[in-house]
Copies of this chain bind each other. A is one copy, B any other.
């Protein structure tokens, strides 16, 4: 690997000063055409390439690179988001460094450190599940930071289990990696979801792009109730995740406001589609549930898989659209987020601050859309 030619080499070959080459490379117009031609010739001759890394250390200059921290590129939700962010940034001359935290708090911190060391111009981050907000507090003064999918909030302490007449807690249906979250009702204040809601009143630490998780879950649950569901299973990931708490809260809100007397519900946790399928398989035919709200795409896939394998189904609505949703019969109804729009909004928020805007950090909550395809019916 021969070391690449520098501006100095080009200047020497073209018989001009360094500065003139610099001008040419940066597209300045006020250059003698004769010199410009000599320089251009020397550049192609030597195979010179502008060194952006070197240029970026000058004050006021930057490499035009943005960092994106998500939890898992392999999940279609995140890859769609990453694509959308990359498109918007690319159209504005920025490159994107994407890293996966895999929901690991330590790795999350490490990755952010690395990106800051790399001197990226901006950061789009999905906060980790037990967020201390330390990363945001440290990074925000240095560069534009946007939180996506979840706000930069410290995780509230786990709430105490609560029971009431209308809310019963499923015994752990299968051995799962994590105990199922306790069921709660709307009457029960001072819970994690409520803490989230309270904090949302205060100005956010950084610009934040969210979907209306609670609203979407509420609409889906209401739809299931409308079709006669009385014992709905909330099947999702750990309630340590903000989005899960929100969707859970929306679920409960629908039950509190729209459920007839005697309605009941249960909650189960599954990290993967396979775990979700196991949960549903174990419950199918027991009569303990008569409908499923799948709180993320993996849960939806698991539920459909269980239905297909067992040869029986229950009314189902999922959160997040997924490719298979239109391929099975009945089609899977979902609460769809506009992922492309979220990515674009996050990218635009970073770009706006890079362009000099300095409004106080704001939270943008994008609406979700209930797409009915038939699976909500009994």
A312 → B minimal CB distance (Å): 13
Complex-state Cα separation, A2 to B326, whole angstroms: 51
The answer to whether the Cβ of A143 comes within 8 Å of any Cβ in the partner chain is: yes
**A57→B59 contact, CB < 8 A:** no
The answer to whether the Cβ of A190 comes within 8 Å of any Cβ in the partner chain is: no
The answer to whether the Cβ of A28 comes within 8 Å of any Cβ in the partner chain is: no
A99-B96 contact in complex given A117-B52, A118-B53, A305-B326, C-beta closer than 8 Å: yes
A339 nearest CB neighbor, chain B only: B74
The answer to whether the Cβ of A177 comes within 8 Å of any Cβ in the partner chain is: no
Most chain B CB neighbours (cut-off 10 Å) among A3, A49, A79, A327: A327
A328-B326 contact in complex given A3-B59, A63-B53, A141-B1, C-beta closer than 8 Å: no
A residues 320-336 in Cβ contact with B at 8 Å? 322-324, 326-329
Find chain B residues with CB under 8 A from A2 CB: 141
A351 → B minimal CB distance (Å): 15
A114-B95 contact in complex given A53-B57, A323-B323, C-beta closer than 8 Å: yes
The answer to whether the Cβ of A365 comes within 8 Å of any Cβ in the partner chain is: no
A86-B100 contact in complex given A4-B142, A117-B50, A326-B305, C-beta closer than 8 Å: yes
**A72→B83 contact, CB < 8 A:** yes
Most chain B CB neighbours (cut-off 10 Å) among A2, A115, A117: A117
A53 nearest CB neighbor, chain B only: B119
A328 → B minimal CB distance (Å): 6
A273 nearest CB neighbor, chain B only: B323
Measured CB to CB, the residues of A under 8 A from B are 1-4, 47, 49-54, 56-57, 59, 63, 65, 72-74, 76, 79-80, 82-83, 86-87, 90, 95-100, 113-119, 138, 141-143, 301, 304-305, 308, 322-324, 326-329
